[in-house]
Amino acid sequence: MAIKNEYLQGVYAGLVQRNPDQKEFLQAVEEVLTSLEPIVERRPDIVKHKVIDRIVEPERTIMFRVTWTDDQGNIQVNRGYRVQFNSAIGPYKGGLRLHPSVNLSIMKFLGFEQVFKNSLTGLPMGGGKGGSDFDPKGKSDGEIMRFCQAFMNELYRHIGPDTDVPAGDIGTGAREIGYLFGQYRKLRNEFTGVLTGKGLSYGGSLARTQATGFGLCYFTDEMLKAAGDSFEGKTVVISGSGNVATYANQKATELGGKVVAMSDSSGYIYDPNGIDYKVIKQIKEVNRARISTYLDFVPTATFTPDCKGIWSVKCDIALPCATQNELDEESANILIANGVKYVAEGANMPCTLEATAAFQAAGIPFGPAKAANAGGVATSGLEMSQNSQRLSWTFEEVDAKLQSIMKNIYASAAAAAQEVDQPGNLVVGANIAGFLKVADAMIWQGDAF
Ligand code: NDP
Ligand code: 2IT
């Protein structure tokens, strides 16, 4: 284990004992605790107030049954979750994931990361995450609607605009948010900004759809600028082809890069002429089809039925935007051997700890998820502000705020890394900068809640 400080080792050992099977959660915690060593050594009050012991334990974990009826009239049962991790600096905030792999470990890792990410945005949002092991693939609109309504039938009693504000994540996009919002409004007889990522006609924010992918590129652009470089003429590989990947493609292309490969869980496409994000939007948002159908639009492209193979495509910039642990040490070494110059995480924890270490050892600037993909939740925060004001800002206003938030996140992560004598280590910097604000709020608010 990489953790050397005795207090942190003790906290981590206790966590392993209590949650032996939660490998994703333990992985996320190990990374953060390793980064916090210099802080714990300098700040005895953090140890005295047991801040680390407290911060690794969710304030509340809700697990519930979701029963719905499919198109054949069969009753289906799924498990729903909401992990309300930390509310020291604001209402719980974070997405809802709908994917068959969802379990408590994945919900807790996502909720834990969200606490620090939300803190980094500078906006008053605590951290949470939720979702279900429901598989939206191949379901009709009616089935999606009935599932979302059934899910909200339980969730509504635990959330609220000043309590907990969910949003989208894997498998949860504009359609699902609409059904969830409709059911909440009906159950509470209340029209409030209880969810973000809403449609524009009922309180959504312009630029929220684009925000995570755009923000990722704004952050990457800061990494490039710090190295005296730019997106211009760079070859880019983006895994995934969902919300984050699609708009990362758009912005990377607008900034002068060429996106030559994208993927979904069935494999990856390669198009040396550059992939047009509008074709991906058509395939994924309109047709709800597989990425291989890209060849119907661009017959000269190729499809390889192996999603991990995307990391063997030569590129200057790699942006993993699909899911956790999709990029392991072996893939990192292939990217490095092929001359990758920058890596930034659009998905949550897409790189394994070993892959991250390999990039850092090779001296490749690495943008960690908490910082690099924070543009989505930051813009959710801006949606909450607009809802509170009962006003809507223009696309340009929201996009300008997003750009300035991403610049600030880069600057605070870089400054925190410098402060602990690890210049350029954005993993350590982001973890420290995100942590300190929450830790101070917890100490100031008293120990026994
Ligand atoms: P989407 O559901 O829109 O897209 C997910 C993409 O990732 C799809 O291409 C999907 O392929 C692929 N994918 C999902 N699971 C797997 C898997 N197990 N193996 C291989 N490929 C997989 O989700 P988002 O784009 O919203 O989210 C992508 C990542 O970004 C997630 O890690 C999410 O937590 C993170 N994120 C999202 C934010 C947002 O605002 N939406 C904000 C910050 C982070 P397929 O369709 O074949 O399943
Ligand atoms: O991982 C994430 O930051 C998200 N899925 C977005 C959360 C949000 O509340 O917008």
Query: What residue owns the CA closest to ligand 1's atom 37?
Result: 169
Task: Please list the residues that pair with 344 across neighbouring strands.
Answer: 367
Nearest 5°: CA angle at 368, between 82 and 441? 55
Reported confidence tier of residue 449, pLDDT bands at 50, 70, 90: very low
Mean pLDDT, the chain, whole residue set: 97
pLDDT of residue 309: 98
CA–centroid distance for 287 within its chain: 25
Verify whether residue 117 is a known catalytic residue.
Answer: no
Q: Over the stretch 158-213, which tens digit does the pLDDT of each residue have?
A: 999 999 999 999 999 999 999 999 999 999 999 999 999 999 999 999 999 999 99
**For 326-351, what is the mean pLDDT?**
98
Does ligand 2 come within 6 angstroms of the Cβ of 206? no
For residue 216 and ligand 1, the question of a CB distance below 6 A is answered with: no
Dihedral angle sign, alpha carbons of residues 394, 398, 399, 400: positive
Q: What is the 3-state secondary structure (H, E, C) of 300-345?
A: CCEEECCHHHHHHCCCCEEEECCCCCCECHHHHHHHHHCCCCEEEC
- Which ligand is the nearest neighbour of the Cα of 118? 2
121 lines ligand 2 (CB under 6 A): no
| Catalytic residue (one of 129, 198, 284, 370) | 129
Provide the 10 A C-beta neighbour count for residue 291: 22
> Phi-psi region for residue 266, left (φ > 0), alpha (ψ -120 to 50) or beta?
alpha
- At residue 57's C-alpha, the angle toward residues 54 and 59, to 5°, is 90
Alpha helices in 90-140 (DSSP H): 104-120
Residues linked to residue 60 through DSSP beta bridges, in sequence order: 84
Torsion from C-alpha of 132, 135, 15, 116, nearest 10 degrees = -70
Pocket test for ligand 1, best of 217, 265, 324, 352 (most atoms within 8 A of CB): 265
Nearest-atom number in ligand 1 for the CA of 97 is 34
Mean pLDDT of 304-326: 98
Which of 205, 207, 206, 202 is CA-nearest to residue 180? 202
Beta carbon of 97 within 6 Å of any ligand 2 atom: no
Whether pLDDT at 339 is above 50: yes
Helix or strand run (H / E) with residue 380: helix 375-389
Answer yes or no: is the C-beta of 126 below 6 A from any ligand 2 atom. Answer: no
Give the chain's end-to-end CA distance (angstroms, integer).
32
Model pLDDT, residue 163? 98
Q: Residue 215 and residue 120: Cα distance in Å, rounded?
A: 13
Going from the Cα of 410 to the center of ligand 2, the distance in angstroms, rounded, reads 18
240 ligand 1 Cβ < 6 A: yes
Question: pLDDT value at position 210?
Answer: 98
In terms of C-beta density within 10 A (0-12 exposed, 13-18 middle, 19 or more buried), how is residue 19 classed? Answer: middle
| Nearest ligand atom owner, CA of 212 | 1
Q: Read off the pTM.
A: 0.98
Ligand nearest to the CA of 121: 2
Ligand 1 pocket test, candidate residues 264, 306, 307, 383, most atoms within 8 A of CB: 264
pLDDT in tens, 115-172: 999 999 999 999 999 999 999 999 999 999 999 999 999 999 999 999 999 999 999 9
Instruction: Confirm or reject: Cβ of 203 under 6 Å from ligand 1.
Output: no
